[in-house]
Every structure is written in structure tokens, then in C-alpha cells.
């Protein structure tokens, strides 16, 4: 997926949480944006696994 294919949006976040995400992302060699996207993908995958019979609308277009 190219940068142009991604949806941009504004996210307001607590500065302390931002600092924690920034440190976590750095420890895993990711940008904060990349870390947030990684965490969201994990959450979606876990939710899908916990909901047997989830329909195709719950499926992402691609896997990370």
C-alpha cells in the first residue's frame, strides 16, 4: 500500500501517552504513526479471532 492510498486523520492524544508511544516505537524501530497502525492492526486481528463467524466486512484488505 502506498502513502497515497492511506487515510490521513487528526488524532488528539495526551502528551504522556504520546511520550510512551514514542519511546515504544523507537524501541521497535518504528515511527509513532507506524506503531499506532501496528497496534490497531493487532487489535483488529484479536477482535476478529474472538468473534467466531465474523463476516467479510470485518476482514481488512491486507495483512501487516
Domain boundaries, the chain: 12-48
pTM: 0.70
pLDDT recorded at residue 58? 55
Mean local confidence (pLDDT), 10-32: 97
What is the pLDDT confidence band of residue 4, given thresholds at 50, 70 and 90? confident
Torsion of CA 35, 39, 42, 44, to 10 degrees: -130
Q: How far is it, in rounded angstroms, from Cα 7 to Cα 42? A: 18
SS3 content of the chain, % helix, strand, coil (to 5): 60, 0, 40
pLDDT recorded at residue 64? 46
Query: Which has more confidence, 3 or 37?
Result: 37
What integer best gives the mean pLDDT of the chain?
86
Does 59 score more than 70 pLDDT? Answer: no
Amino acid at each position: 500500500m502506498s502513502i497515497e492510498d492511506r487515510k490521513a486523520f487528526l488524532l488528539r492524544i495526551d502528551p504522556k501517552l504520546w511520550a510512551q508511544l514514542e519511546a515504544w516505537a523507537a524501541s521497535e524501530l518504528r515511527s509513532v504513526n507506524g506503531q499506532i497502525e501496528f497496534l490497531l492492526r493487532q487489535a483488529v486481528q484479536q477482535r476478529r479471532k474472538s468473534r467466531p463467524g465474523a463476516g467479510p466486512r470485518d476482514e481488512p484488505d491486507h495483512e501487516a
